[in-house]
Amino acid sequence: MANPKRLEIINLLREGERSAAELRLKTGLLKANLSQHLSIMRLKGIIKTRKVGLTVYCRIANPKIVKACDLMREVLDESLQEQSQLLRGRRSRKWKP
């Protein structure tokens, strides 16, 4: 889940099932790289896949995964905002020897 490309894949799948070919085009990953990411995500239970002919379709295994990603994004955003406020506060105070 810490890999930016895997987060991008989750974000693309939040709206519903997509083919691996579509994911490859949207992420810009090479076929082999996408396959590795999807394999890891499938083994970890993040996504489920199904095959129709030669086409592989992917979807989020559990909607709570998307909720968890959204929650972590909110936590990180809040943390960044707090850090930004602290830095602005330090800059506005003049240093006195």
Domain of residue 15, CATH code? 1.10.10.10
For the stretch 18-54, pLDDT in tens is: 999 999 999 999 999 999 999 999 999 999 999 999 9
Per-residue confidence (pLDDT) for residue 10, from 0 to 100? 95
Share of the chain above pLDDT 90, in %: 69
DSSP 43-94: HTTSEEEEEETTEEEEEES-HHHHHHHHHHHHHHHHHHHHHHHHHHHHHHSP
56 lies in some domain: yes
Domain count of the fold of the chain: 1
The token pair at 91 is 């800059």
**CA nearest neighbour of 19 among 56, 64, 66:** 56
pTM of the model: 0.78
Query: Which domain does 45 fall in, by range?
Result: 4-92
Whether residue 83 is contained in a domain is answered as yes
Q: Tokens 């129709």 map to which residue?
A: 52
Residue 42 lies in a domain: yes
